[in-house]
Structure 1
């Protein structure tokens, strides 16, 4: 299992020997150490990415496709060992970790196909004169990823970068870096040339500043928080590097009153399953559920019953449905949101506290009667907390759903196609699920509006994120 920096095709320790501890969030014990990259290491990775780009931009689309296809196959072969690493450092149940590794393989496989389909276009021509647009790789990429999906987030950036001829420096979150190392090792084993794929671990502010302020990095991609996104925008201003920013959300769910009892139960099951996956640490997780008056009480009862059946425990325990939060800071933030809501008059229907014992666990929590000014309705909870609120008309529901500065994902449950269309038209977000909570796939663009960021990764939209359009006009003679 790699636990080092990967620079120019070599695994190495930090040049000055400094390290960072990696904790198991279920036990709070140190399970590994990884390098804390020095400035010399960062300079070395920039030089490697610069050289790697010069090589990879000249590689044929077929060669890039073949590397990604091999990497996808290797990832699937290594699912069990990578999932074990993922659960140990991030905490989610092993079944969720296995699914995430398979989703990462899907990214590599899908972009293996896209590598040979990064089409340009031919413009109007006339005798002796031709014009066309071609897509060229944007250049070396600095990719910063969060700890909640330590496999699929790096994969979402690695796959299009490799497919379209870029080199890349992956900077995983220091809470869960070894899973990204496994992905990088898989690409190296699949035959990606030295310097094309690199990985750095270290103190985030110092690493990001050193990379972005260099003359090498031509593109920045971040999955992270709003404050970090703002900082990277500021850092990028001097050299005007383009950014793709996915900065989280506060996803509303609208449950409409045309649902019968059976449909209400199905909606409750889907929301609970989606909400408490990864202990609620999912940027598109349902985090505010608005239920129309006529079905409110029925849905609350169903949600409370299902949440009460969830089993909390280490991700390595096959009986666990909900693992720990990633760190102590996250647990404290979730507890504060619940305490403030309760102090303001909200009813804690279940959960609402951290259980006794080690680990960064927090019990799955359902809140009702939440006051409109509660912080949990304004700030992304990013944890196992679900506020359930009542609304009257669809217009009211849409107004309340849109009443946050985020706009990543939203969900609608209804059996009426006309009302579904009206809800979809009225929601100000980048992704919408109608009677469905599974929104992320390699073929679909992922991203939002407002404080959720800008740009898209996934789908054919990734061509725009990782390439530049070059227009060429040619005459047959001077």
Structure 2
């Protein structure tokens, strides 16, 4: 397919390269340049802020039915355009075409869910004596600055746009420069469904320049960020200067507790596929497999055999089960982590190196018996590497799962009902999967604890994050 021409969108107008700096968008499967993306200057950002301010004044007065019509209309357009959007996403991010098709449908489902939630923004009346009337209402927080990463090039922009629009807010979205066409396609569906052009803008630029400019403006009332913990802490400090409300979905280091009573073959069949989807570039990816000693060797060997059988190739190839990593930085980072782990005493059971010299491919990798001193045991790898360590029992497994400051997703596999309840209670994570890896849905909150952030996206909680509470007392 022909990769689409790139632009920013401000007030419904496509803002092209012209005199602006540009970012070269690469195809991760080949390393070739497929597009030139314009980067915002200060004047562009000032214009986006002014338009977003106007857009909020318009959209906060919209009815729930108007907002629902836009969201459900956009959902229908995404379904119609599924193949076109999915192919653009695979070209610029690398994941398999099967994964990007699913991603389009995820956003369509989320928009349909929020279309319903617009009509469930309820307040309440408080009982008072002597004829006094007291009410509690929920109002849109205001213009939102939203920053989305590249790993889910369709779903992340969908999350950043869906909740604010459902709540009656305006949005300035800065997607990742590595995957711009996907975000633009999501915005276009909303505009084509009738969203006033002032309500949602998309800008690109040097990240620190854009974040400082937007968060330094009194126009912005809320920040929504998905990305690394390091960047999240930096943005939280900037937001604090103007007391901007924040939703932060940050890094993870997903522990997976596998007990001897689990169905080991079923666990392997499910967990291996989940580990290597999007080449492991998933914030909730299962990473540290903590396996009871009695089944450790069986689990490790079964995992390695399945990893070695995965077909790695261009994501546009229907036969590929894992595509390349998204940019040239990632294979270098993963290779360094694996080498460090092996040097510290870990065993390399599968993979461990780049594939070929074209594109950003890396082998599905398994390392085991990794000491806690290795960097990969303490830093989120964000790549196709599974760590498998033997553990003496439940108490030690829970302690290791909770050892790190991250708490996004955790998984456990056991048939013991009492243990399932204990793990649900004891694991320090915003999302816990028990005998499943399906921990995300449009009606379920998505978010973490500790260094993995605060607040939630998706579900009623995602909409509530874009609302403020007002109490009115009438004498």
Common fold by TM > 0.5: yes
Tell me what 1:6 maps to.
Answer: 9
- Tell me the CA shift for residue 253 of structure 1: 0.3
Partner of residue 47 from structure 1, selected from 23, 36, 50: 50
Q: 1:391-441, CA deviations, whole angstroms, 9 ceiling, x for partnerless residues?
A: 112011000111111000000101111011111111001000000001111
Does residue 378 of structure 2 align to residue 375 of structure 1? no
Shift of 1:235: 1.1
Matched with 2:253 is 250
Counterpart of 1:281?
A: 281
**For 1:279 and 1:65, how far apart are their aligned partners in 2?**
35
Q: State the 1:2 CA deviation.
A: 5.5
User: 5+ residue gaps in structure 1?
Assistant: none
Say whether the 8 Å CA contact 2:164–2:463 is kept in structure 1. Answer: no
TM-score by structure 1 length? 0.97
Q: Structure 1 residue 94 and structure 2 residue 103: aligned? A: no
Could you tell me which of 30, 46, 64 is aligned with 1:61?
64
8 Å contact from structure 1 (residues 2, 182) kept in 2: no
Q: Compared with structure 1, are the counterparts of its residues 133 and 59 closer, same or farther at alpha carbon in structure 2 (3 Å cutoff)?
A: same
Which residue number in structure 1 is paired with residue 468 of structure 2? 468
What's the offset of the Cα at 1:292? 0.6
Which residue does the alignment assign to 2:297? 297
Q: 1:373 to 1:223 in 2, by over 3 A?
A: same
Partner of 1:221: 224
Asked if structure 1 preserves the Cα contact closer than 8 Å seen for 2:372 and 2:378, the reply is no
Answer whether contact 1:14 1:41 (CA < 8 A) is retained.
Answer: no
Quote the offset at 1:125 in angstroms: 2.9
In structure 2, C-alpha distance between the alignment counterparts of 1:326 and 1:283, rounded to whole Å = 14
Q: 2:37 aligns with which of 34, 39, 42?
A: 34
Cα RMSD (Å): 1.0
Counterparts of 1:15 and 1:140, CA distance in 2 = 28
Map 1:39-438 → 2, pairs under 5 A? 39-259=42-262, 263-438=263-438
CA shift digits 1:341-390 (9 cap, x unpaired)? 11111111110000122011110000112112111111001000001011
State the distance in 1 between where 2:333 and 2:451 align: 19
Give the match's secondary structure for 2:465: helix
State how far apart, in whole Å, the 2-side matches of 1:36 and 1:296 are.
50
Q: Deviations over 1:17-58 (max 9, x none)?
A: 322110011111101111111111000100110000000000
User: For this pair of structures, how many residues does the alignment match?
Assistant: 472
**Matched residue SS, 1:316:** coil
Q: Residue 410 of structure 1 contacts residue 427 of structure 1 at CA under 8 Å; is this kept in 2? A: yes
The answer to whether the 8 A contact 2:28-2:326 is kept is yes
Q: Measure the CA separation in 2 of the matches of 1:351 and 1:9.
A: 47
Distance in structure 2 (CA, Å) of the matches to 1:312 and 1:273: 13
Separation in structure 1 between the aligned mates of residue 303 and residue 236 of structure 2, nearest angstrom: 40
Shift of 1:123: 1.5
Contact 1:2 1:185 in 2 (8 A): no
Deviation at 1:15, TM superposition (A): 6.2
CA contact (8 A) 2:111 2:162 kept: yes
> Any conservation in 2 of the 1:2–1:181 contact (CA below 8 Å)?
no
* Unmatched runs of 5 consecutive residues or more in structure 2: none
2: CA distance between counterparts of 1:120 and 1:3? Answer: 42
Encode CA deviations 1:277-326: one digit per residue, 9 max, x unaligned.
00000000001000011211111121111111101111011111111111
| Mapped partners of 1:132, 1:274: distance in 2 | 47
Q: Tell me the SS of whatever aligns to 1:92.
A: coil
Q: Tell me by how many angstroms 1:16 deviates.
A: 3.0
